[in-house]
Amino acid sequence: MKAENGRLWGKLHDGKFEVRSVTESDLEEALNILDDSFFLNESVCVACEINLPENQQARLDLRELCRITALDGVSLLVKEVETGNVVAVSFNKIQFAPLPGEDNFFLKFRNEDVKSPQARRLMDFMIEVDDRIDVCAIYNMDCFCELMFLATLPSHERMGLGRSLSQFTIELTKELADGKGLDDIDEKLRSKRPAAVTALWTSSFSQKVGKATNFEVLNVVSYSEFEYNGKRFDERINPLHKFCEHVIHKF
């Protein structure tokens, strides 16, 4: 991740917005998008009570997850040109098989760094859904980019910003697969060649983003299968969002 002046990937809405790589200088503002949007409204955050004011530690845990994720150098944001404000973000993670005897990134973070039961339950959900489909085995690959958390400020929803972040995540990953753009990412990852983008679409809105950007649905899991603190996920989540999709965009 660069210190500042993140790479410009594209301009939106007649130049009113720019899609750029996340840098150290705008990371805190990008993380604030999670507090102002994702943690309050995302389906599994609601199901795991991360949205409740008293569960601040859960939000701090997940902010730290995203802060570490951003160090890979593949996360993207949308900035409003006139104000310079960050209005949307995609926290993306380069995933690959760990060394023998080691845990993968999510499991290691969950076991060593997460302090709250709410964030631990959200990560357990992500890990379980991911584990139901072995994408590396199915597609004969050893590395991929996971579009982990996608968030837009409520004031800037329904403008296609999430779709654009998804599309440019695909473009960025394709470049890395071809050995391009390596100077912008963590030097420990420069030997990796991600062969796909994966995601867990947890709402009907993100699922529309996936269809618009040609993701393939690998698996669908109903929220009625999962529970936290005495209630099934679907008892807390808006009934508009009935299931989660595990998806892939393979090159």
**CB < 8 Å & 24+ apart, contacts of 222-230:** 223/43, 223/47, 226/47, 226/125, 228/47, 228/48, 228/49, 228/118, 228/121, 229/49
Taking alpha carbons only, the member of 90, 92, 87 closest to residue 13 is 87
Q: What is the pLDDT of residue 101?
A: 85
Q: Which residue carries 């950007």 as its tokens?
A: 213
Asked, for residue 1, whether it belongs to a domain, the answer is: no
Give the tens place of pLDDT for each residue, 187-205: 999 999 999 999 999 999 9
Q: Which residue carries 């009625």 as its tokens?
A: 224
Asked, for residue 3, whether it belongs to a domain, the answer is: no
For strand 231-232 and strand 196-201, is the pairing parallel, antiparallel, or unpaired?
unpaired
Q: What is the pLDDT of residue 228?
A: 98
In angstroms, the CA 227 to CA 232 distance is 4
Q: What one-character DSSP code corresponds to residue 98?
A: P
State what percent of residues in the chain have pLDDT above 70.
Answer: 100
In angstroms, the CA 38 to CA 91 distance is 12
User: Torsions phi, psi of 164, nearest 5?
Assistant: -65, -40
Question: Alpha-carbon torsion 136, 174, 187, 149, what sign?
Answer: negative
Q: What is the pLDDT of residue 7?
A: 96
Q: How many domains does the chain have?
A: 1
Give the tens place of pLDDT for each residue, 135-146: 999 999 999 999
Would you give per-residue pLDDT tens digits along the chain (251 residues)?
888 989 999 999 999 999 999 999 999 999 999 999 999 999 999 999 999 999 999 999 999 999 999 999 999 999 999 999 999 999 999 999 888 888 889 999 999 999 999 999 999 999 999 999 999 999 999 999 999 999 999 999 999 999 999 999 999 999 999 999 999 999 999 999 999 999 999 999 999 999 999 999 999 999 999 999 999 999 999 999 999 999 999 99
Q: What is the pLDDT of residue 100?
A: 85
CATH at residue 89 = 3.40.630.30
> Which domain does 22 fall in, by range?
8-250
Q: What is the pLDDT of residue 98?
A: 83
Asked, for residue 175, whether it belongs to a domain, the answer is: yes
Q: What is the pLDDT of residue 99?
A: 81
Q: Are 125 and 44 in contact (CB under 8 A)?
A: yes
Asked, for residue 2, whether it belongs to a domain, the answer is: no
Taking alpha carbons only, the member of 116, 135, 39, 26 closest to residue 75 is 26
Partner residues linked to 18 by β-bridges: 11, 79
